[in-house]
Structure 1
Amino acid sequence: MATESTRDQIFAQTQQVVDFAFTAAVADVFPDMVRRSVPGYETVISQLGVLARHYAQTDSTIYDLGCSLGAATLAMATQVRQPGVQYICVDNSEAMIQRCEQRLQRQLPVASFQTLVEDICQVPMQRASIVVLNFTLQFIQPAARQALIERIYHALLPGGVLILSEKIKFAEADQQALMTELYLEFKRANGYSELEISQKRSALENVLIPDTLAVHHERLQRAGFSQSLVWFQNFVFASMIAVKA
C-alpha cells in the first residue's frame, strides 16, 4: 500500500479526462494532493482541534462528514477533553474509509470512533455537539445542500456547531478573476504543471460546484442557525462556523 508521503501525479500525463472521483489512486496520494491544492489546509485542520476543544460537549457525538483519511477527526480527538465523546467518520469512498480506519486504529482507542461507508445525506445523526463538513459540501449536488444543512441543524444539541470549510466563489467578476489567478499561482508554486492544473480543473468542473459566502450564510440562517461567521479564508477557500442557540 502507498505511504502518506506519495506524491500526487494523478494528472501529470495527458489523458482522457473524466469526472473526478475519490478512487483508491486518489486516496493513495490524498495527503500530498490536498496540501498542494488547498491553501491553508494544514491551518484549518489544526484549528479544528482548537474549535473542538471549545465546543465539544460531554457524552455527545462529533460527526466528520466526508472524512477522507480522518485528519479532521484526529485533530479534534487530540484536543477534546470532555468525557464520553464518540467520533463518527462518514465517507462514500470505500478506499478513503479503509485508510481512515487504519489510521484511526493506530492513534485512537477503538471504542471511541466508528467509520461508515455511507451517503452523508442519508446517514442518521443525533446528539451531536460538533459536525464537520471539511471541503465536502462543495461535492454535494446544489439542490440537496439545504436539506443536508437542515438535517445537521436538527441533529445538533443546543450550543452545538457546524464547522463548514469550502471552496468559494465571488459575486464580483474582478474579485473572482484575481482570487482565481492567485490560487493558480499557489498551485504552480507547489509544483503542479499547467497540464496538471488544466486536466484537474476539467475533471472537477461538473463535480465541485462552489457557492458564494453569501449563499452559505443564507442557507445556514434558513436552517435555523443563530450565528454564522468566517473564521478563516485563504484565496478561494474559507471555513465558517455556525452556532445552534
Structure 2
Amino acid sequence: MSQPAAPCDDLSPGQQFRQGFLAMVPLWLGMMPFAVAYAVTARAAGLSVLETSLMSLTVFAGASQFAAAGMLGQGAAGLGIVAATFLLNVRHVLYGLSLSRQIPLSSGQRALAAQFLTDEAYGVVTVAGRQDPSRLTFAFLMGAQLSLYAVWNLFTLVGALAGEILPPPEQLGAGVIFPLAFLGLLVPLLTHRLPVLVALLSGLLAWGLAQLLPGGLVVLLAGVGGALLGAYWETRRASDAGPA
C-alpha cells in the first residue's frame, strides 16, 4: 500500500510545489484533448501555430480561448471578443475570493496566482485543503496551477502542429470531461444534508440561468446564490440551537 503524503507543514516549499503539481496529474488526461481541440479550432479560424500557442501561454483559459478563436474566425471586433471572454471568466472572482480566505498570500503572490487560476486547480486545491489544511500554501497552489499550465501548453502545440490530421473538436469529446471531473471533486464534500441541499438547489439555479445567460455569469450567480443560501441556513441553524 502507498504511504499517505506528508503534511505540508513538514515540507520545504519545493516539496509542497511538487505535491501540488502531482495532485493534478489525474486531470491531465482530460486536459490533453481539450487543449488539442482548442488548437484545432484556432487553426481552423486562421491563427498560425505561433498565434495559437501564444494565446495559451498568455491567456490560459480554455473556454475563453475557444470563444476567442471562434469569434476571430468570424471576423468579430476586438472589443466584442474581450467582452465575451470577460463574461466567460467572471466566475474566477468567486474562486479568487475563496482562495484568498484559505491561503495567506502577499499582493505579488495574489497577482501571480490569479494569472494561472483555473477551475480545476481551484477544485483540487480546495478539496486537498479540506483533507489536510497544511496543504493550503502558496507553493502547493502554484504547483497545482503550473501543472495544468504545462500540459495545456504542450498539447496546444501538439494540436496546432497536427491540426490538419485530427478530427473536428466536437468529435474529441472534450466538452464533457471537466463537468465530470468537477462532479468527482464535489461528491466527497457532500457529507451532510445541508451541503447536499445547497448543491442541488445551486445546480437547479444554474440550469435555469443557463437558458438566459452566458456560462461565466451562470457560474457566478449560481455560486453566489448557493453561498448565500448556505450561509443563511447555517446561521439559522446556529441561532435555533442557541448558546451552548
Q: What TM-score does the superposition give when structure 2 sets the normalisation length? A: 0.29
Comparing both structures, which one devotes a greater share of its residues to helix?
2
| Greater RCO, CA 8 A, separation 6+ | 2
Larger radius of gyration, structure 1 or 2?
2
Q: What TM-score does the superposition give when structure 1 sets the normalisation length? A: 0.29
